[in-house]
Amino acid sequence: MTLTGMFWDFRLNYFNFSGRTSKQAFVPQFAAYVLGFALFAAFPIFDRIVLGQGEAVGISDLAMFVSLIGLALSIALACPLYALLFRRLHDVGESAIILLYCCIPIAGFYFLFRTFVLLFKQGDHTSNDYGAPPET
């Protein structure tokens, strides 16, 4: 999937929790989310080590600003991320309720692992309860 295709898929499916998303469309979009979140989360560490904060206590203004932007983006992108996860689970024939099970203490680790495995499983090639197979 091209970068332009990812953008249009993101734009068209921002609040779309129904339907299906293929593994080929899911992997680059999910990787972009993970990479983006990781970069914003790692910036304060980068700021302290590379930009010379050294032994100073606290966080620099730049790191605080980047962290706040990261928080705002995390909140804004939570809905399309969950929509993407819902559609991917629908593609493998699973209900998205499994994502709620991940919040259960201790047992949630099992469901989190199971969900992670399902996200990268090949989708159903035929129609299932959630619709026809995606085109890509």
- Write the pLDDT tens digit of every residue in 16-34: 898 888 888 888 888 888 8
Q: Is the distance from CB of 90 to CB of 25 less than 8 angstroms? A: no
120 near 50, Cβ under 8 Å? no
Burial class (CB in 10 A: 0-12, 13-18, 19+), 94: buried
Query: Is residue 57's pLDDT more than 80?
Result: no
Query: Taking residues 94-106, what's their average pLDDT?
Result: 87
Give the bridge partners for 128, in sequence order. Answer: 131
**Cα-flanking dihedrals φ and ψ of residue 60, to 5°?**
-75, 165
The residue behind tokens 């085109």 is 135
Give 54's DSSP letter.
T
Q: Which whole number is the average pLDDT over 43-67?
A: 70
pLDDT of residue 90: 92
pLDDT for 85-95, tens place per residue? 999 999 998 88
Phi first, then psi: what are they for 88, rounded to 5°? -70, -40
pTM of the predicted protein model: 0.80
| Residue 66 or 55, more confident | 66
Q: Which two tokens stand for residue 119?
A: 């996200």
